[in-house]
Structures are given as C-alpha cells and as structure tokens.
Amino acid sequence: MLNIIMNFIKHIGLFLLCLSISAFSQATNVIELTAGLSKPPFVIENDAQNPGIQLDLIKAIFAEENQAVGFLHVPLARSFTSIDRWHSDGTITLPSDYQHENVFVSEPYISYQNIIVTLKEDNLSINTFADLKGKKIIAFQAAQKFLGAEFAHAVKEAIDYQEVADQMRQIQMLFAKRTQVLVLDISIFKHFLHKNVGKEYMKPYKIHQLFMPRVYAAGFKNKQRRDQFNRGLKKIKANGIYQKILDKYLL
C-alpha cells in the first residue's frame, strides 16, 4: 500500500513538473514591446480589459499568429533609445517612413490626427506654422521628430516650447493657462474631455487644423517578428477585428 502511495506521489510530482516546464516555456515565448505612457484612447496603462487601441490591435495581430505579447511602458522618446540598445523586441509607434539599419518596420497600422488647441479667451489666430512665433507651446514628447521639419523650425521661434511625456498633464496645463498652445492628437483631446467633466475643463476652446493625418508603424528587432505582425494585421483587417477595436474606443 505504501509503495502504491509513493508511486502515486511520484507520478503527480512528475506531472506538476511537466506543467511547470510547459508554463515556463510559454512564458518565455512572450515578446516584449515598448509602448508609450498612457495616452487614452491609444495606450491605457493598468487596464487589462481596455488597454487602448494600439495595445488591443497589437495583441489581436499577434494572436492571429499564436504569439503572446507584453508591453513595457516608457516615455515616447525612450522608445527610440530602447530600440537602438535592444532592451525589448521592438516598439509600437514609429513613423511609417522610419529607417534604421537594425530595425524592421511594419506596415502602417494606426493613424493619428494631430491638432493645435487654444483657448477662445486668448483670441489667437493660428493659420500657419509661422503663427506659432512668440507663443508658449506645449507638445507631446518627440513632437519635433514626428511632425515634420516645418513644425520643428516654427517652434524654434516660440517664446517657450516644452515637450511633455504625460499627455494628460499637457491638457491640464492649457486649461490652467500655463501655456497658450497645445499640440496633440484630436482623439486624445476628446477622450480626456469626455472622461474629465469638471468645470475647469469647460472653457471654450478653438481647434486649428494645420497637420495632415499621419500613419504609424511598429518596429522590430528581427524580420520574423515584423513579418508575423504584417500577416496578423492583414488577417484582422479582413475578419473585421481591426474595425471593431477602433469602434470600441473612438468617440
């Protein structure tokens, strides 16, 4: 009887060990991508059910390829550094025309529509980039890299220009009159106002449309991951998952 019990325990132990090894193998097969800090609706930290458009899209893309993916949240500017030093397997937001000898850039998968926002009470006329001269400006981190040479040149004439990693703080600074000009994506701006209904955010504002929509891609350490991404992206566009994710978040 004792031998039977010992054999049973032995087999149970071996079974649990196999399970542990299997789980470890699966866990180590997770690829890690750098993502920016929270910028709802695109990236939402600490919300497993609703992690944002980009994270949901990327998870769905790699699910089509039976590949698990995790995200490391860092300021946007550090995403470029992380790619260069290979602290991750890739990054989720790169200009679609980004070029680097060690980076495999995916097909574009997400679009941003950047805008300029001012408070109506400031009565600012901004019809060209030259009108930014002499203004106090808050933009998202790495805006000069993403928004083109004309914008980068114009902000050099600003009386004060800052790039802020926390995009929620950007919006707060505009309504607190700590800046005159806000540069960010229109969906991020609308999402913030939808979620924050306090009277401090009820001041009338103006939207100035100077930017064309810009598409962004993901970048990977190796070609295999890039190709997986492109295949998965094609699949979720064909089966309707891509549009369902957009509809889930966009107001």
**pLDDT tens-digit readout, 103-155:** 999 999 999 999 999 999 999 999 999 999 999 999 999 999 899 999 999 99
Question: Which one is predicted more confidently, 213 or 100?
Answer: 213
- Assess contact for 110 and 229: CB atoms under 8 A: no
Q: Measured between alpha carbons, how far is 118 from 125 in angstroms, rounded to an integer?
A: 9
Query: What average pLDDT does this structure show over 57-82?
Result: 88
Domains of the chain plus CATH, in order, are: 30-111+214-249 (3.40.190.10), 114-208 (3.40.190.10)
- Average pLDDT over the chain reads 88
**Mind listing the pLDDT tens digit for each residue in 38-54?**
999 999 998 989 999 99
By the 10 Å C-beta count (0-12 exposed, 13-18 middle, 19+ buried), 32 is classed as middle
Cβ atoms within 10 Å of 209's Cβ, excluding its own: 12
**Mind listing the pLDDT tens digit for each residue in 214-243?**
999 999 999 999 999 999 999 999 999 999
pLDDT at residue number 81: 63
